[in-house]
Structure 1
């Protein structure tokens, strides 16, 4: 249970999630009822952009895109940081009936080109900070200018349209987004999400946390991935809240708390790695963190250590709610409930939200409570499969059910605890070891800030356990102390055979541990197989 004095939930009236059908009408209710309310706060000067102004900009973009030669159901790429340009381009393209494929601005040009070609986008809408280079498709710069006087304009001059053949031929007007996920292989997979998927996900997130016009947040996670896109941006706009977009469009620990105070943020969502950064820096950068009007803090996209969760709650003075999801389920599938809506079971990722979540054995038979198996998800947020990849679709989607590739346990109350990834399991002489479980024990050792576990090739056992550990600043813990801590809490075959103290661990752009880079750095070897995108 959370060891904090939780703030009360909103009122006593039943919560009504926003009514919407997809991206195109996401703003409609707020524009009708609260056109002058803040929707976004943008640029380093923290300029507010109202719902009415945001809708006018999106409509302007939609008109220009309709006259460009693009047809309804065509795909366009979107290359921008967390900026007004991203939001306006996304909503404008949706209102024009186009399918939007957000791209990671940090990817090298070769990968951006490969993704644009694989999907077959008609053009790429690019924000001001996007380094596009030669993408072999038309790139249309898009700029938004907003002033404190309340005026806002958009600049977009469409040019020629590409008619390349790609997976976009599988899309229809019912589709809203294509999100890229590399999973555990090199080739990015393309996940098509319909407007119905989007609407179901956004409504569920809003309902889970009872988001409304009184809420505000700071965009921490990138919008090109489901975590930042669905949880922070779309759910906030649909519910009438406010989203501050940090300067330069990306998270900065140095400006995070001033940004939070600037909009009186009531919540935020991030990955565990960012929560760890904020926790380590809170004493010197925000000693009064508990004075912020936080209703809750959310963590998703990777497992959060329960000890860290409790420490964050003490620091922030608000409950920290763990959630679970993946790209293929339009982000959220489970979450711990906010105060007053159910028990907090730290170490779990909560109960199903808007979908059905089950744990099954190797034959697809449901496991009884307390028994480990693979997590399967079904419901209105689950994608229909992957574009241009029938083999991966057949192995990951069973009818209307998604095989997540995650191992977990459901308790008698329906709370899910994740125990690892099937593809991550280390096979040491027939003993199956979950890296995530070993990492939890390592992080629980005093002085350890982060830990990552990987497979070491071994001629006798097949694989052994390797670990890389990052110490907290100023801590002088020895490897022997850490290993003794492990021997007291793990089976002998689970204790790391090699343990290295390192300065930093590799992370993906969305903030999850980059296990492929970890394996390549410390134990190079082939990486085979496929599983859905890790929790996101």
Structure 2
């Protein structure tokens, strides 16, 4: 059953999402109508950078890149933390007609090299690393340092050292790109698993419009950049949607999230919302007794959670603490980030445990026979619409597996209810097969996380000669709690089928996470799954 995207948000209150066509004109309306409005808050002094100043810096970078020998549709890497340099480099390269490939500054040299060579990027724009982070590893192509200097008065200048002209040799996947493309994002994973996702300016525009429409983002909104911009969550939801809607984004002084300064940053920005992964929400919740400023906190319209499952107990606790609705969203790189979201409370019911309704796309749940599942029946989640990428670069086999007639086969398991709300139940590839019984690790993790004293849990398969696989769990217990294995297992037996109850519990101090903020399941298996 296909569920069309809800359009009621815009019709109900005449909200109109921004009319942008991609990265190139993302700032144009604000520059015309509100040139002196703040676009970014930057540096330790929290200086306001206006839309006019930001656009001028981007134009300066575009002009300098036009003399490097690169042509429209050529890729360029971007390695930078969440600083003004990232924003200026991204928009400047886009205005020069280049396709930007943001990369995680923390990647080791082997992975940076593998990704740049696979893409065929002839050069990389280098911004300053996050404070306290090690220097960026050496890369196999020319690295062009870019710096933005901002005065306390809000005036700014950019320095870009391009060195010698780039030799334009189309290599790797670069030959598959065109001037219609805006970005190449790498899926989460190790070097041998990361895939290159090309996103057009039309994909970007559709994503930004969908996010803005869902949350009615406008000129009165502001947020703090919590998630890294080299992944879709931080890039589309926090940065691009805010700028397109005329809002403001505060970039933390250190270039990355800091729980210690978060609430000060929120007050400095007069933030109206923020978005993060469940791990960061848990951190803020755990520190709220001593750090949440209560009545001195800026009033929030909503809080958003995405990129990993958020258990219902945490969602409710966050809403009580922050006094704002917490809206769960769902998306992936191949859908240009957001595909579904819970609506604002005034626009529809909140269903805790779901990730809401489609936002600008169609969603259907498909069974093993390829047919749409009835309401409430679990199957694979498929997404179709203007945000869906055309496939993977230089990987026709994975493209054939992941895309069917314009539909993105997400690999996620879920079900739709009668109102079109999507509930996710796990990943197909994560399923544990215990003697023929299929077990969702995510479901077991959600139950474990609800046990008093348990902060978080990771569930994985343990190889077994009799059953093929058994269920293992690594559990983090809240500091000062004395909950033991038998109490946790008793809690599970009351709420899980017998075959779902973990056969082995391992108590750990912390779980490994990817840079995107999701549980690193491969690292979990490597550490804890040995028989």
TM-score normalised per structure 1: 0.95
Q: Distance in 2 between matches of 1:69 and 1:174?
A: 19
Q: Distance in 1 between matches of 2:162 and 2:90?
A: 15
Equivalent residues in 2 for 1:96-245, closer than 5 Å: 96-129=96-129, 131-159=135-163, 160-162=165-167, 163=169, 165-183=171-189, 186-245=192-251
| Alpha-carbon distance, 1:124 to partner | 0.2
| Alpha-carbon distance, 1:186 to partner | 3.1
2:5 is aligned to none
Secondary structure of the 2:254 match is helix
Once the two structures are superposed, residues 242-281 of structure 1 have per-residue CA deviations (whole angstroms, 9 ceiling, x without a partner) of 0000012100000000000111100000000000000000
Secondary structure of the 1:392 match is helix
1:24 is aligned to 24
| Alpha-carbon distance, 1:325 to partner | 0.2
1:497 is aligned to 503
Q: Which runs of 4+ in 1 moved over 6 A?
A: 9-12
2:387 is aligned to 381
| Alpha-carbon distance, 1:338 to partner | 0.5
| Alpha-carbon distance, 1:426 to partner | 0.1
Gaps of 5+ in 2: 1-8
Seen in structure 2, the aligned counterparts of structure 1 residues 290 and 207 have a Cα distance that, compared at 3 Å, is farther
Match of 2:514 among 508, 514, 523: 508
Secondary structure of the 1:248 match is coil
Q: Distance in 1 between matches of 2:504 and 2:252?
A: 40
Q: Distance in 2 between matches of 1:222 and 1:59?
A: 24
Preserved contact between residue 290 and residue 315 of structure 1 (Cα < 8 Å) = no
Secondary structure of the 2:138 match is coil
TM-score normalised per structure 2: 0.95
Determine if the alignment matches structure 1 residue 94 to structure 2 residue 94: yes
2:72 is aligned to 72
Preserved contact between residue 109 and residue 134 of structure 1 (Cα < 8 Å) = yes
| Alpha-carbon distance, 1:292 to partner | 2.2
Equivalent residues in 2 for 1:353-392, closer than 5 Å: 353-392=359-398
Determine if the alignment matches structure 1 residue 305 to structure 2 residue 319: no
Seen in structure 2, the aligned counterparts of structure 1 residues 415 and 185 have a Cα distance that, compared at 3 Å, is farther
Equivalent residues in 2 for 1:314-463, closer than 5 Å: 314-463=320-469
Q: Distance in 1 between matches of 2:499 and 2:310?
A: 24
| Alpha-carbon distance, 1:138 to partner | 0.5
Preserved contact between residue 272 and residue 300 of structure 1 (Cα < 8 Å) = yes
Match of 2:485 among 458, 479, 483: 479
Preserved contact between residue 123 and residue 141 of structure 2 (Cα < 8 Å) = yes
Match of 2:302 among 290, 296, 301: 296
Seen in structure 2, the aligned counterparts of structure 1 residues 249 and 395 have a Cα distance that, compared at 3 Å, is same
| Alpha-carbon distance, 1:113 to partner | 1.0
Q: Say how many residue pairs are matched.
A: 517
Q: CA RMSD in A?
A: 1.5
Determine if the alignment matches structure 1 residue 40 to structure 2 residue 40: yes
Select between 11-20 and 305-314 the one with higher mean Cα deviation: 11-20
| Alpha-carbon distance, 1:13 to partner | 3.6
Preserved contact between residue 290 and residue 316 of structure 1 (Cα < 8 Å) = no
1:5 is aligned to none
| Alpha-carbon distance, 1:282 to partner | 0.6
2:3 is aligned to none
